[in-house]
Amino acid sequence: MTGTAPQGSMAAPSSKVGGGSQAPLVEPIELSLPLDQYAALCAELVLFPDASEAIFRRYGLGSTEMRLAVDAAWKERLSKRPAEYARWQQLYRNHHAHFTKRGAPAE
């Protein structure tokens, strides 16, 4: 999940998904992938790009379509909700620090 930050200086939500069309989500984004999990996903993908397929599968995002849909939904939502974006930034920093210290993605 890639892109530029909707606002502020913190990295944008990014889960490095390839190009392609995206299907709309049929349920609210927070049910598909809650904010905390999205932040963790983004942090893991930045730190462990070679493990991206396993990471995506662990978060229930086995298909490119689903990855694109979830990423687009979160980017859209966070670009319109500054407080929620600030919360994502804090969660991302926390997960990034955790996985950096751990030295490996979650199992």
**pTM of the predicted model as reported, rounded to 2 decimal places:** 0.77
Number of domains into which the chain is organized: 1
Q: Is 16 exposed, middle or buried (0-12, 13-18, 19+ CB in 10 A)?
A: middle
Q: Give the domain range for residue 66.
A: 29-102
Interior angle at CA 51, CA 95 and CA 103, nearest 5:
45
* Residue-level pLDDT at 96: 98
Structure confidence by residue, pLDDT tens digits, 20-45 = 455 555 567 778 899 999 999 999 99
Is 52 part of any domain? yes
Six token digits for residue 74: 């979160």
In a domain, 3, yes or no: no
Quick: pLDDT tens for 34-91.
999 999 999 999 999 999 999 999 999 999 999 999 999 999 999 999 999 999 999 9
